[in-house]
Structure 1
């Protein structure tokens, strides 16, 4: 901060650039501290829940993705769903997590292959894959109705993190999966 005062005092100083640089540094430090708080929260929650996976096993299952980084946001936005998911997954060991993740990845790969093949999102095959996706969520995480699934599909478009997950598996896949989920929900609702 002393550097800022000196730099701003210079006659040719770009004050805005100096302040923006300092803001970036402080934001990075805040992110680092927030990550530490999340790690401690995870450790506390794991101890309280008697979780069976250690950090190394979590990395084996999820790689660089840390589901706990999204806990506070998920709990704030969807408290009932968050609690159902927390209760359902609390006792999962490494094998169950691996099975859940592998199933999700297989469904994502299937949807990606359907998109790549030019299959329409409202085709029977694609709607069936969307239904597999819904049932997988329902089986592993929380009860997922067709209406909830459509809401999740909306998030795949609106939230950059979810969009990235799908787009990393195929260009246009986030929109394709959303459209398939919507078509599947219409099918489940029956004729209007």
Structure 2
């Protein structure tokens, strides 16, 4: 399907699809020689996920992180979205009932307690957002942070020194091939260091690298050691991780 057909089908603007392409959220599987975007069935499935997650209150950055997670599963995502929509429908039904009772109360037809006037008004809680974040987002990062919190001051200082040394070494190699012996050896050291206080599979390691470029908090922090370090480190982690999986 071309971009106009997809926009009409999903009831969104062509500009929105352009934006999704620009930020790497929904990249069409085919672009003609004339530069026209062509969307596959897989693209349409991805778009459905995007629109469902948007409806549930997820930001585009969060959606991109979920969809790009190595653990992302379409079937699980659909079930998560269904449970979340049912919960949202239940909340909306409560809110509608509260409005109806309030209208009757204003007319003098009934009495309402203060608590009843706020029944169903829960704006700041989405339990399924946390479930999605844990399933496809930064669970490994949170686990690592918890383990770091249990370390002694001396242990934290030692790890921080190793951390900075590796970042500095990576920064010095920006622009060199990620498949070079030096970079792969450095990436191996990084993997081993992370696993001293975390539990990273090769997929989780690759996923962490993706977060370095998808989450501006990571990017800003890492690029302090060198412009473009987050991108280079992400690519190095992806290459090394995939190679380890292949040779496992």
User: 2:162 maps to which residue?
Assistant: 103
1:121 aligns with 2:178: yes
Cα distance in 1, alignment partners of residues 154 and 130 from structure 2:
24
RMSD of aligned residue pairs (Cα, Å):
2.8
Give the one of 198, 201, 206 matched to 1:150.
206
Contact 1:150-1:178 within 8 A present in 2 as well: yes
**2:231 match: secondary structure:** helix
The gaps in structure 2 that reach 5 residues or longer are 1-128
Contact 2:178-2:184 within 8 A present in 1 as well: yes
User: 2:245 maps to which residue?
Assistant: 189
- Please, what TM-score do these two structures have when normalized by structure 1? 0.53
Cα distance in 2, alignment partners of residues 75 and 100 from structure 1:
30
Give the one of 109, 113, 133 matched to 1:77.
133
Deviations 1:135-166 (A, max 9, x none): 11100x21111110110000000001100122
Contact 2:133-2:139 within 8 A present in 1 as well: no
How many pairs does the alignment contain? 117
Closer/same/farther in 2, CA of residues 138 and 191 from structure 1, 3 Å limit: closer
Q: Which has the larger radius of gyration?
A: 2
Q: Which has the higher helix share?
A: 1
The gaps in structure 1 that reach 5 residues or longer are 1-72
Give the one of 183, 190, 199 matched to 1:133.
190
Per the TM alignment, residue 123 of structure 1 is displaced from its structure 2 partner at its CA by 1.4
Deviations 1:46-82 (A, max 9, x none): xxxxxxxxxxxxxxxxxxxxxxxxxxx9998338646
Please identify runs of 4+ aligned residues in structure 1 that moved more than 6 A: 73-76
